[in-house]
């Protein structure tokens, strides 16, 4: 896929949000993630108004070994950047495996899932640009 101005703007936004992230929140999630029953730990680092109707949210997501997040969607775009380990995404009928340093653009409303396919804890930084009046994550039926 050829980079576009939209991709560049999304990357700049993600970088801006990283700078704005609370160091304390990022450090806490690195030090000791608190996993739920699914083996997922989510630490919100930034939530800012984007344009009046949408907000930018950035979340560190830690996956215990073998943990997966079920099929879901978001009311806006997501950019997932893998911080450590390896994650397998299911998106549009395709399996996409990313490792630390790689990223994925997930379109608004696209149903997808994610699974840790490495032997240790895997982490991603998820950046969302979503409508304010809707939940950030909507589980698929």
**pLDDT tens-digit readout, 22-53:** 444 444 445 678 999 999 999 999 999 999 99
Cα pseudo-dihedral 75, 81, 84, 86, rounded to 10 = 70
The answer, as to whether pTM is greater than 0.75, is yes
Tokens encoding 139: 């589980």
**pLDDT at position 40:** 96
Provide, rounded to the nearest whole percent, the portion of the chain with pLDDT above 90: 73
Sole residue written with tokens 């929140």: 25
The per-residue pLDDT of the chain, averaged, comes to 85
Report the pLDDT averaged over residues 101-108. Answer: 97
């Amino acid at each position: 896929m050829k980079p576009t101005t939209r991709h560049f703007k999304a990357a700049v936004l993600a970088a801006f949000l990283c700078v704005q992230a609370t160091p304390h929140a990022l450090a806490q999630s690195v030090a000791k993630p608190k996993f739920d029953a699914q083996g997922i730990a989510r630490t919100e680092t930034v939530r800012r108004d984007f344009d009046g109707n949408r907000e930018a949210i950035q979340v560190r997501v830690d996956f215990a070994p073998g943990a997966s997040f079920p099929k879901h969607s978001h009311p806006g775009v997501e950019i997932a950047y893998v911080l450590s380990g390896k994650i397998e995404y299911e998106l549009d009928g395709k399996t996409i495996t990313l490792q630390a340093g790689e990223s994925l653009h997930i379109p608004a409303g696209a149903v997808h899932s994610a699974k840790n396919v490495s032997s240790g804890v895997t982490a991603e930084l998820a950046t969302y640009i979503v409508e304010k009046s809707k939940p950030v994550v909507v589980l698929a039926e």
